[in-house]
């Protein structure tokens, strides 16, 4: 502290003659270069931002999806085929996890394993060698009823029609049946009144089993891996869907195309999504399923990701898909 309160202690004591006053540096403020710049229009990033819509991974603004309304009664199931003739694109994973998410929203769900590989059944913890009755018996034996074949899953409100390798024989035997394309539709009919949604997990082919699934369905969901080669073959799938609609099932619609195994860090995934939206427009779901090992882990555990890793981003993605799907369906 300075006596007298002089600031900074810079006043020299007057001293002996000839003594040079000590050099006192008064700080000269250096000019601020910004002061000399003319005031111009604000730079683009300084302009007050008009709120930009948040773009989702498909490059379109994300919609605000409504919470699904609770149902007071059940029945009049909407039947959906999970279809793509390419294997390993996420059909089975989507069937299990969309089904489980719809069940979380209070929907009564029946999953139909319509692939002789039986991955859906195994993915829900069933042993393919220990099944008494499968969808094969339901298709081929006239005295077997759907209620005898249905099994409960670990998810409340979600049942399963299981399958194993026996189903591959059905594809051959059905060829000789009358109304062979309508066989699944006929055997599923009694189940419609007990469920809100029936999801059919198709095999990776466009053969007679898949045509049966499409004939029994109101809608199709096409899971597509976010990978360039995945886009090839979609035209053929669309032709098959169009033919089934024209010849066998006029009500058949494409409910949506779902990007799976998406990796937002790669330009490739983003480009594939862009191409998909160019080709299919709003048929493409806003929800995409990212690539994560949690899906394989939950398959090994024999349960959906919604219970295996309930708070994971994969589980949330399928809940989001369930909301989007319900928002697209009339009266759902």
Ligand X SMILES: Nc1ncnc2c1ncn2[C@@H]1O[C@H](COP(=O)(O)OP(=O)(O)O)[C@@H](O)[C@H]1O
Residues that bind ligand X (CB under 6 A): 87-93, 119, 204, 260-261, 289, 291-292, 295-296, 299
- Partner in contact with 287, chosen from ligand X, Mg ion, none, beta carbon below 5 to 8 Å by kind: none
User: In terms of DSSP H, where are the helices of the chain?
Assistant: 33-36, 91-104, 119-123, 135-140, 146-149, 167-174, 183-188, 208-215, 234-247, 267-280, 294-301, 305-308, 313-328
Cβ atoms within 10 Å of 48's Cβ, excluding its own: 5
288 forms beta bridges with 259
Supply the minimum distance, in Å, between the C-beta of residue 88 and Mg ion: 8
> For Mg ion, what does the binding mask look like between residues 108 and 147, x meaning CB under 5 A?
-----------x----------------------------
Smaller CB separation from ligand X, 110 or 289: 289
Cβ closest to ligand X, residue 93 vs residue 306: 93
Q: In the complex with ligand X, which residue's Cβ is closer, 15 or 88?
A: 88
Q: Does 299 help bind Mg ion (rule: CB under 5 A)?
A: no
Q: Cβ closer to ligand X: 142 or 265?
A: 265
SS3 (DSSP) at 160 = strand
Query: Are 101 and 321 in contact, with CB atoms under 8 Å apart?
Result: yes
Q: How far is the CB of 202 from ligand X (least distance, A)?
A: 8
Report DSSP letters for 47-77, one per residue: SPPP-PPPB-TTSSBPP-PPPPPPPSS--SP
In whole angstroms, how close is the CB of 198 to ligand X at the nearest point?
17
Task: For residues 256 and 233, give the distance between their C-alpha atoms in angstroms, rounded to a whole number.
Answer: 16
Q: What does 292 interact with, of ligand X, Mg ion, none (CB < 5 to 8 A by kind)? A: ligand X
The Cα–Cα gap between 225 and 295 comes to 14
CB 73 within 8 A of CB 331: no
Interface with Mg ion in residues 73-92 (CB under 5 A): 91-92
Q: Give me the least distance between CB of 308 and Mg ion, in Å please.
A: 18
Nearer to Mg ion, 92 or 215 (CB): 92
Q: Give yes or no for a contact between 307 and 93, defined as CB atoms under 8 angstroms apart.
A: no
Per CB under 5 A, residues contacting Mg ion are: 91-92, 119
């Amino acid at each position: 502290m300075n006596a007298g309160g002089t600031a900074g202690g810079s006043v020299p004591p007057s001293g002996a003659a000839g003594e040079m006053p000590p050099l006192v540096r008064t700080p000269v403020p250096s000019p601020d270069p910004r002061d000399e710049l003319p005031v111009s229009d604000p730079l683009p990033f300084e302009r007050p931002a008009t709120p930009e819509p948040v773009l989702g991974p498909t490059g379109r603004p994300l919609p605000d999806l409504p919470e699904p309304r609770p149902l007071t009664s059940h029945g009049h199931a909407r039947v959906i085929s999970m279809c793509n003739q390419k294997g390993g694109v996420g059909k089975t994973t989507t069937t299990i996890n969309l089904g489980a998410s719809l069940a979380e929203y209070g929907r009564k769900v029946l999953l139909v394993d319509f692939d002789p590989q039986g991955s859906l059944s195994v993915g829900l913890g069933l042993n393919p060698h220990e099944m008494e009755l499968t969808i094969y018996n339901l298709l081929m034996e006239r005295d077997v009823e759907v209620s005898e074949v249905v099994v409960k899953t670990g998810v409340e409100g979600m049942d399963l029609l299981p399958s194993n390798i026996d189903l591959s024989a059905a594809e051959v035997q059905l060829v000789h049946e009358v109304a062979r394309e309508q066989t699944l539709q006929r055997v599923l009919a009694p189940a419609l009144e007990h469920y809100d949604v029936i999801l059919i997990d198709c095999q990776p082919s466009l053969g007679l089993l898949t045509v049966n699934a499409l004939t029994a369905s109101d809608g199709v969901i096409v899971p597509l891996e976010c990978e360039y080669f995945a886009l090839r073959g979609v035209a053929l799938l669309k032709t098959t869907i169009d033919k089934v609609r024209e010849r066998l099932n006029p009500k058949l619609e494409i409910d949506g195309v779902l990007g799976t195994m998406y990796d937002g860090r790669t330009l490739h995934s983003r480009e594939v999504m862009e191409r998909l939206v160019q080709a299919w427009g709003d048929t493409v779901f806003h929800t995409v399923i990212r690539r994560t090992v949690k899906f394989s882990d939950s398959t090994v555990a024999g349960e959906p990701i919604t219970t295996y890793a309930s708070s994971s981003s994969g589980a949330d993605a399928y809940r989001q898909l369930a909301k989007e799907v319900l928002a697209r369906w009339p009266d759902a």
